[in-house]
Amino acid sequence: MNRFTYALLAALLLTGCSGMPENMPDPENITSLDRCPSSPNCVSSADDPGDSHYIAPIRIQGDPGAAWQALQDMLDEDRSFEIVASNERYIRAVATTKILRFKDDVEFLLDRAAGTIGMRSASRIGYSDLGKNRSRMEDLRARMIEAGVAASP
């Protein structure tokens, strides 16, 4: 690659913003996840199916409490995540990419009645994330399926 290609790639990655607002509401008052902005660096189960930002929620298999605990354990064990707020139905975390150390905001919302865990992952900076937010969330889903606490979408 030449310098122009690197400069173009950097400009695409660093233009725009879709992260969480600085003054997030109290986790106890969160009842739904936000939809994504128009930039392609976010996925959310709150978006409409068919929308490019949509990602299916995690379908719980078995006990919702066990699935919720398994998710928390996975986030705790994965050094790329830092849980910054959590309660019995909501988790907010910051994920840091390995190479460039970009920070992405990640949220999960447990819906015991529906048997699902909604999820959202959004880059704080940049216009494109080259699919990192979606792959991160699909990796967590796969790990939960492998652990036997989630079903395929």
Widest pairwise Cα distance in the chain: 54
Phi, psi of 129 (to 5 degrees): -115, 5
pLDDT band at 6 (very low <50, low <70, confident <90, very high): very low
Q: Where are the alpha helices (DSSP H) in 31-131?
A: 64-77
pLDDT band for 28, please (50, 70, 90 cuts): low
Which residues does 137 contact at the CB level (< 8 Å), separation at least 6? Answer: 43, 55, 106, 119, 121
pLDDT reading at 46 higher than 90: yes
Report the predicted TM-score, pTM, of the whole model to 2 decimal places: 0.81
Which amino acid type is present at position 136? Answer: R
Q: Which residue has the higher pLDDT, 139 or 23?
A: 139
For 7-16, 25-34, 127-136, which range has the lowest pLDDT when averaged over its residues?
Answer: 7-16
Tokens 């792959």 -> residue = 135
- Would you report the helix, strand and coil content of the chain in percent, each value rounded to 5? 30, 25, 45
- CA–CA distance, 66 with 40 (Å, rounded to integer): 33
**Can you give the pLDDT at residue 35?**
92
* Percent of the residues in the chain that have a pLDDT greater than 90, as a whole number: 63
**50 pLDDT higher than 80:** yes
Q: Report the CATH architecture of 3-17+37-151.
A: 2-Layer Sandwich (3.30)
Q: What is the DSSP letter of 123?
A: E
- What is the chain's Cα-based Rg? 16
State percent of the chain over pLDDT 70: 81
Q: What is the distance of C-alpha 82 from the center of its chain?
A: 12
Q: How many CA atoms lie within 13 A of 152 on its CB side?
A: 0
**pLDDT for the residue numbered 121:** 95
Q: Which residues contact 30 (CB under 8 A, 6 or more apart)?
A: 90, 109
Would you list the domain boundaries of the chain? 3-17+37-151
* 121-143 tens-digit pLDDT: 998 877 777 788 999 999 999 99
Q: What is the pLDDT of residue 100?
A: 73
